[in-house]
Amino acid sequence: MSGNLRGLAARVAQIPAAATAAAGTRVAADARLVGAGWAPAGVKLRGRRVRLEATVETAGGAAVVAGTPAAGWVWATRGTGAHQIAPARGRALAGALRHPVTIPVQHRGAAGAGLWDRAVDGAAAALFDAVTAAVARAV
C-alpha cells in the first residue's frame, strides 16, 4: 500500500511541470499560427522580410514563451508611430507610390493588430486543459 502512495505522490509532484510545459507549447503553437499570416511583403527588419515565430523554454516547472523577432511582434501587436523612411543604401523607394523616390518619406504609422494578445488569450484555457490532463494521468 505504501508503495502505491509513494508512486502517486511522485506523479502528483510532476503535475505542475507537466502542465506548464504543455500549456507553454500550446501558446507557442498558437502564436506561430497567429503570426504566420501577418507580415506584409513590405515589412522588413535588417533587410529581410519579417517572419513571426515563437519559441518555448521549460525549466523548473515554468514555461517561457518568446516571440521572435521581438520587434516584429511589437509592430504586429501595438503598431508603429509616425516615422521617416529613408532609402536603403542610396537605393530608391517604390512601394505604393508607383514611382521611385530617392528622398526620405514620412510614414504616418500603422495601427497594431493585437497579434500577441490573441496568441496568449488561449493561455488560461490551455493551462486548464493541461492541468486536467496531467491530473488524470497521475491518478
Query: Looking at per-residue confidence, does 97 or 65 come out higher?
Result: 65
pLDDT at 82 over 90: yes
Task: Look at residue 49 and tell me if it is in a domain.
Answer: yes
Task: Look at residue 102 and tell me if it is in a domain.
Answer: no
pLDDT tens-digit series, residues 14-72: 778 777 888 888 888 888 888 887 766 566 666 677 788 888 888 877 888 888 888 88
Task: Look at residue 100 and tell me if it is in a domain.
Answer: no
Task: Look at residue 104 and tell me if it is in a domain.
Answer: no
Task: Look at residue 88 and tell me if it is in a domain.
Answer: no
Q: What does pLDDT average to over the chain?
A: 78
DSSP reduced 3-state for 138: helix
Task: Look at residue 91 and tell me if it is in a domain.
Answer: no
pLDDT at 104 over 70: yes
Task: Look at residue 65 and tell me if it is in a domain.
Answer: yes
- What is the domain extent for residue 132? 2-81+113-138
The number of domains in the chain is 1
Of the pLDDT bands very low, low, confident and very high (cuts 50, 70, 90), residue 133 is confident
Task: Look at residue 17 and tell me if it is in a domain.
Answer: yes
